[in-house]
Amino acid sequence: MFPRAGRRATVPFVGFAEAFVLGALRSAGVPMQRIRPAVAKLSAEIGLEHALVSRRVYTDGAEVIFDYAESSGDEALFTVVKTGQQHFTEVIRDSLERITYGDDGWAERLRLPAYARAEVTVDPRQAFGQALVVHGGARVEDLVDRFQAGDGFAEIADDFGVPAEEVEDVIRVALRLAA
């Protein structure tokens, strides 16, 4: 069902985070024809590589918006990258709330949205960036492996210190993704 260790493709955290943000922007209604030029413009104008994983990127549901406040001195100023139209913080809808940013302003942890009950995060500083269940700290892969070996939800929950309903949620998502 799942590839064995050593045969998996790996993606650097920054690439995974960029894909996550791209998905969040698309879910918020921002079309690709607005995202591509915005990212290109940020890269060309201010040399911001990996702009999508910067805390300074937002969306209002239609455009990619960048916080130019650090360079302008105006703490409330946001600008539509493509048009230069200015917005203020109270009109910005933050669709990227599942991202935790570090002190340097870059994404450092993602909370995955697929789970209904379990809080599952990806953090490159923990478990080599593999998905972890917050309550108990178990790797998603370990829970799934135990279930596939025939263990029940309660037994897995007891062994890993993860609430049984979260184990069940993790297994359901894993099986749905594998299908």
Please write the tens of the pLDDT for every residue from 105-116. 778 998 988 899
Per residue in 130-171, pLDDT (tens digit) is 999 999 999 999 999 999 999 999 999 999 999 999 999 999
Per residue in 48-88, pLDDT (tens digit) is 788 778 777 665 555 666 666 555 444 444 455 566 555 43
Per residue in 37-46, pLDDT (tens digit) is 777 877 777 6
> Which of 40, 38, 44, 43 lies closest to 59 in space, CA to CA?
38
CA distances from 111 to 9, 96, 101 (A): 21, 10, 12
> Which of 150, 145, 179, 152 lies closest to 168 in space, CA to CA?
152
Domains of the chain, with CATH numbers?
13-103 (no CATH), 120-178 (1.10.10)
Other beta carbons less than 10 A from residue 72's beta carbon:
11
- pLDDT (0 to 100) of residue 144: 95
13-27 and 32-46 helices, crossing angle to 10°: 130
CA distances from 138 to 49, 81, 96, 103, 135 (A): 33, 40, 25, 26, 8
- pLDDT (0 to 100) of residue 63: 62
